[in-house]
């Protein structure tokens, strides 16, 4: 095992991380269109000289650093780099210069943290064992997502572990949230079409009322989470659209229902889908109608590897033990969707949350809001988390 003093190097990288984040914040780009962002990132990596830079897809970047002291584990670290179609309203001196596009989820921070991680590790190269892969991923915000494309391009070949994180503007600064098992939900959408037979409102016996059948289906869909699933499992079935009919005196022959499903495991997700199919089919049959369910899979749930997460939890507590601002906590999962799961489905992974609330007294502005902002000090916490975790997992010892 090699012993390293990295604290100083981490501190020296701080200012540069802020500069990177502010530059990226000014020039946000939408999902699958991150051309200039990818160019900027690869320029910064190329300046480090000992990092091999490539483009696995059109707008993603991969950096590879080989420790000089010998072989060890290979670890991949991922940052998403895309922005959102939102008009920024922050008045920050480094606010977006691209009209209608904004880094309103903190991905500018994620990219800067990973550039910083690459810089710190590249300066330590002579003392390192193992290999480090830096994945700057395009298109997290828009399904099917960029992670899947990068995996298909082979970025995880030979990788032992994958790490990811998210800065959270609504989580107090200083919190590091580490979750064992499921950490984000499967996020799927569905459409149901009901076909009946139209007729005069005064003669319901001659019609097959798609609207009334649709109401029964909606009502029964609520039973999935309350009566089909185990009360110990988590899932959501939300009907958010229901359209049928457009006259006062006509029984409609068509109804359209739409909505969203969330589940913390793939098993629960499949159970929900199967139950939806049964409800649609059988309620329709009971009324001589036809119902068709179209179920569209979104991102898979992220499931943090238990052993890896336990190790990271212990190592992170150790790494931050002298920093009174930091609380390492085991937190419950969220029901949001994240395509980091495309990586962690392939190799053991761990995805954590870093508190980045700007205002200590609450009033946190949520993600995807025109006034979204993060505490820049949280970038330093995240950088230290990545460096200390990467060193531990590759078999290096941190001093
Ligand atoms: Ni995000």
Residues 33 and 161 placed together within one structural domain of the fold: yes
Q: Residue 293 Cα, ligand 1 centroid: separation in angstroms?
A: 30
**Whole-number Å distance between alpha carbons of 349 and 336:** 18
CATH code for the domain of 197: 3.30.70.360
Residues 190 and 319 placed together within one structural domain of the fold: no
Q: Which domain holds residue 258?
A: 186-299
Residues 154 and 216 placed together within one structural domain of the fold: no
| Residue range 70-80, pLDDT digits in tens | 999 999 999 99
Residues 162 and 18 placed together within one structural domain of the fold: yes
Residues carrying an active site annotation: 82, 140
Q: Residue 141 Cα, ligand 1 centroid: separation in angstroms?
A: 7
pTM of the entire predicted model: 0.91
Residues 52 and 111 placed together within one structural domain of the fold: yes
Residues 372 and 390 placed together within one structural domain of the fold: yes
Residues 279 and 320 placed together within one structural domain of the fold: no
Q: Residue 80 Cα, ligand 1 centroid: separation in angstroms?
A: 8
Residues 139 and 164 placed together within one structural domain of the fold: yes
Residue 1's pLDDT is 42
Residues 326 and 339 placed together within one structural domain of the fold: yes
Residues 159 and 49 placed together within one structural domain of the fold: yes
Residues 212 and 178 placed together within one structural domain of the fold: no
**Tally of domains in the chain:** 2
| Residue range 358-393, pLDDT digits in tens | 876 667 899 999 999 999 999 999 999 999 999 999
> pLDDT grade, residue 190 (50/70/90)?
very high
Average pLDDT value for residue range 130-145:
97
Q: Residue 169 Cα, ligand 1 centroid: separation in angstroms?
A: 11
| Residue range 53-70, pLDDT digits in tens | 999 999 999 999 999 999
Residue 398's pLDDT is 66
- Could you give the residue ranges of the DSSP H alpha helices within the chain? 7-26, 35-47, 107-123, 146-152, 210-223, 266-286, 306-319, 341-344, 377-393
Length of the chain: 399
Residues 262 and 315 placed together within one structural domain of the fold: no
Q: Residue 105 Cα, ligand 1 centroid: separation in angstroms?
A: 5
Residue 361's pLDDT is 65
Q: Residue 166 Cα, ligand 1 centroid: separation in angstroms?
A: 7
Average pLDDT value for residue range 263-273:
97
Q: Which two tokens stand for residue 222?
A: 């609520």
pLDDT value at 349 more than 50: yes
Average pLDDT value for residue range 85-108:
97
Burial 127-163 (b: 16+ CB within 10 A, else e): ebbbbbbbbbbbbbbebebbbbbbbeeebbeebbbbb
Q: Quick one: what percent of the chain has pLDDT higher than 70?
A: 97
């Amino acid at each position: 095992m090699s012993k390293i003093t990295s604290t100083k190097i981490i501190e020296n990288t701080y200012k540069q991380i802020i500069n990177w984040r502010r530059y990226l914040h000014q020039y946000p780009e939408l999902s699958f269109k991150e051309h200039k962002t990818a160019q900027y990132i690869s320029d910064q990596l190329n300046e480090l000289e000992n990092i091999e830079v490539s483009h696995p897809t059109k707008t993603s970047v991969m950096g590879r650093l080989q420790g000089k002291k010998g072989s060890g584990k290979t670890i991949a670290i991922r940052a998403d780099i895309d922005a959102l179609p939102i008009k920024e309203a922050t008045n920050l001196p480094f606010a977006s210069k691209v009209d209608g596009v904004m880094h309103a989820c903190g991905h500018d921070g994620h990219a800067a943290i990973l550039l910083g991680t690459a810089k710190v590790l590249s300066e330590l190269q002579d003392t390192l064992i193992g290999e480090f892969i830096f994945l700057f991923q395009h298109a997290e915000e828009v399904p099917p997502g960029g992670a899947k494309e990068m995996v298909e391009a082979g970025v995880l070949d030979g990788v032992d572990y994958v790490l990811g994180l998210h800065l959270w503007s609504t989580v107090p600064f200083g919190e590091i949230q580490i979750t064992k098992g499921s950490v984000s939900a499967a996020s799927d959408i569905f459409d149901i079409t009901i076909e009946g037979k139209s007729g005069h409102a005064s003669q319901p016996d001659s019609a097959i009322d798609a609207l009334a059948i649709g109401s029964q289906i909606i009502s029964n869909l609520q039973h999935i989470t309350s009566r089909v699933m185990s009360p110990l499992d988590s899932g959501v079935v939300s009907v958010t659209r229901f359209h049928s009919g457009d006259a006062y005196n006509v029984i409609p022959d068509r109804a359209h229902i739409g909505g969203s499903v969330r589940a913390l495991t793939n098993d629960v997700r499949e159970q929900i889908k199967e139950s939806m199919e049964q409800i649609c089919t059988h309620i329709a049959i009971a009324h001589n109608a036809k119902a068709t369910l179209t179920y569209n899979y979104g991102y898979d749930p992220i499931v943090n590897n238990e052993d890896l997460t336990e190790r990271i939890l212990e190592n992170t507590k150790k790494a931050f033990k002298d920093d009174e601002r930091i609380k390492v906590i085991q937190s419950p999962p969220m029901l949001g969707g994240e395509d980091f799961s495309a990586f962690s489905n392939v190799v053991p992974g761990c995805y954590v949350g870093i508190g980045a609330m700007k205002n200590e007294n609450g009033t946190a502005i949520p993600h995807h809001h025109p006034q979204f902002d993060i505490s820049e000090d949280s970038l330093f916490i995240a950088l230290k988390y990545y460096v200390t975790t990467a060193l531990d997992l590759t078999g290096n010892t941190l001093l």
